[in-house]
Structure 1
Amino acid sequence: MNSNLLFDFIVNRENNTINIQREFDAPRDLVWDAFTKPEIIDQWWAPKPFTSRTKYMDFKVGGRRFYAMVSPEGQEHWGIQEYTSISPKTNFKMLNAFADKDENPVLPGSDWDLNFSQQSGITTVFVSIYNESLERMEKMIEMGFKEGFTMALKNLDVYFEVGK
């Protein structure tokens, strides 16, 4: 596994944005699939010991993914991702929000903008996460977003490594 891959996590409190830049030792097509196909997303999205379980996903503009992060004890923490823009293999945007089991958002969501590029076999994913308020972003940080997302991205590294 390539341990020299870029990983930047920058919190910008002035504009309520978290910017993440992460390199993967995998081709862009495979990285794109890992973010857009539920059978792959569920293998890495949740930080261990949680697992991800997609109830349904319709990856198209206006489509949604409704999923749960499931604890080892079976407790479900639901989320909704609603896709607002898709440029195949290069960019997609979504609204990401926590929800109850009936798909009702329980907190205001955040707007995610994901960009994919490749150079010399290394794919870079740049994620910009905008929150409508500093309070919402601080809540996200307090809930351990950085640690959890970092762990999930490491799961993705393992997925790519196993697939080689």
Structure 2
Amino acid sequence: MNKANKMGNKTITIKRTFNAPLSLVWEAWTQSEHIAEWWSPKGVKTKVVEHDFKVGGKWKYIMPMPNGQEFIAEGEYTEIVEFEKIISSANFKPMTEGVEIQSLFKPNGNKTDFTFNVVHPTEEYKIQQEKMGIMNGWSSVFVRLDELLKNM
């Protein structure tokens, strides 16, 4: 099996097109004040604790859940190509740890084609995450991003 197939077996991919120009989508992904508005389920306000947007920079967001617990998302940027991609390690405690997230952007006229990959350490871990509802979780977050972009 080649490397691409092995990566595919460990990767969850979400694709969508945002009805906003690439520069606006990039701003929403890279500015703390915007991230706080969309990086969480509906009804939850994200607290940006750290956001050092550079290769080697760390990020940490806290989302208070209705039950009083905190959901912590954190990682380190490993690759940034302006207006093209953002790659980061990521932990989403207490549910998901040790993944890589890849946010890929492509201009499409006045819209932006977006691909989001979550690369897991193993195929088994990916399957476990799928059963836990990772697709629904991220899809709902990207709906919030879409709503934010309409108001930027």
Q: TM-score, normalised by structure 1?
A: 0.81
Structure 1 vs Structure 2 CA RMSD: 2.1
Q: Do the aligned residues in 2 keep the contact of 1:92 with 1:114 (CA within 8 Å)?
A: yes
Question: Tell me, what secondary structure is at the counterpart of 1:61?
Answer: coil
Q: Do the aligned residues in 2 keep the contact of 1:20 with 1:126 (CA within 8 Å)?
A: yes
Q: Do the aligned residues in 2 keep the contact of 1:108 with 1:136 (CA within 8 Å)?
A: no
Q: Do the aligned residues in 1 keep the contact of 2:28 with 2:149 (CA within 8 Å)?
A: no
After superposition, the Cα gap between the structure-2 partners of 1:40 and 1:134, relative to the gap in structure 1 and judged at 3 Å, is same
Q: Do the aligned residues in 1 keep the contact of 2:14 with 2:135 (CA within 8 Å)?
A: no
Please give the residue correspondences for 1:52-63 in structure 2 after superposition, counting only pairs within 5 Å: 52-63=46-57
Q: Do the aligned residues in 1 keep the contact of 2:21 with 2:109 (CA within 8 Å)?
A: no
More helix by share: 2
Gaps of 5+ in 1: 1-11, 101-105
Matching residue of 1:155: 144
1:133 pairs with 2:122: yes
**Take 1:124 and 1:117, find their aligned partners in 2: how far apart are those partners?**
5
1:44 pairs with 2:33: no
Q: Do the aligned residues in 2 keep the contact of 1:49 with 1:71 (CA within 8 Å)?
A: no
Please give the residue correspondences for 1:15-26 in structure 2 after superposition, counting only pairs within 5 Å: 15-26=9-20
Q: Do the aligned residues in 1 keep the contact of 2:102 with 2:117 (CA within 8 Å)?
A: yes
Equivalenced residue count is 147
The runs of at least 4 consecutive aligned structure 1 residues that moved more than 3 Å come to none
1:110 pairs with 2:99: yes
**Take 2:145 and 2:90, find their aligned partners in 1: how far apart are those partners?**
19
After superposition, the Cα gap between the structure-2 partners of 1:162 and 1:93, relative to the gap in structure 1 and judged at 3 Å, is same
Q: CA deviation at 1:73?
A: 4.1
